[in-house]
Amino acid sequence: MAPPIMERAATPSAAPDPRALRRVCGRFATGVAIIGACGPGGRAVGLTINSFASLSLDPPLILWSLATHSPNAGLFAPGEAFGVSILRAGHGELARRFATPQADKFADVPHWRCPAGVPYLDEALATLSCRVQRADALGDHLLIVGAVEGFSASEGDPLVFYGGDFVRLAA
């Protein structure tokens, strides 16, 4: 079997084509989560991510990224509370809902709020309560590091994103 052909920039200083790079990065399967935060006036804010990762166990830190042009980027300043609701298999429509601009993404979605006002999804596979430790602009995204203050988990299969679509894990 021949090795795969590598896409290369035309010149060493040329940036790769963003669409081609997105296709290549889409070969890495990820879980899907909803980030919840409390917006102006206590409004529940939620957005879909697949850039979530565990960063450190001691101290407990996670990381994720958000496009710098997101209207919600200002909510994730150091010290601000946010929550992570990791989605279950079969929650593809929920992930799409929170990835699409809407006035109230939480309308008719079973959820609860912690004392800080952060929303969490009732049917999440796992949840993490966090505070922004740092939010650094890198490229066209904010890299957000969250200090984990609490968490919970239940049994089940995760929602998995691969190649631009939601897939199920093989048994």
Residue 78 included in any domain: yes
Cα 38 to Cα 83: distance, rounded to the nearest angstrom: 10
24 close to 8: Cβ distance less than 8 angstroms: no
Looking at the predicted structure, is the pLDDT value of residue 130 above 90? Answer: yes
Nearest to 156 by CA among 87, 92, 84, 97: 87
Cα 12 to Cα 104: distance, rounded to the nearest angstrom: 46
- Average pLDDT on 79-105 reads 95
Q: What is the CATH number of the domain that holds 76?
A: 2.30.110.10
User: What DSSP state is assigned to residue 158?
Assistant: B
Strands 160-162 and 30-31: antiparallel
**What percent of the chain lies above the pLDDT cut of 70?**
92
Looking at the predicted structure, is the pLDDT value of residue 129 above 90? Answer: yes
> To the nearest whole number, what is the mean pLDDT of the chain?
90
Nearest to 128 by CA among 155, 148, 109: 148
Residue 5 included in any domain: no
Q: In which domain, by residue range, is 71 found?
A: 28-85+124-153
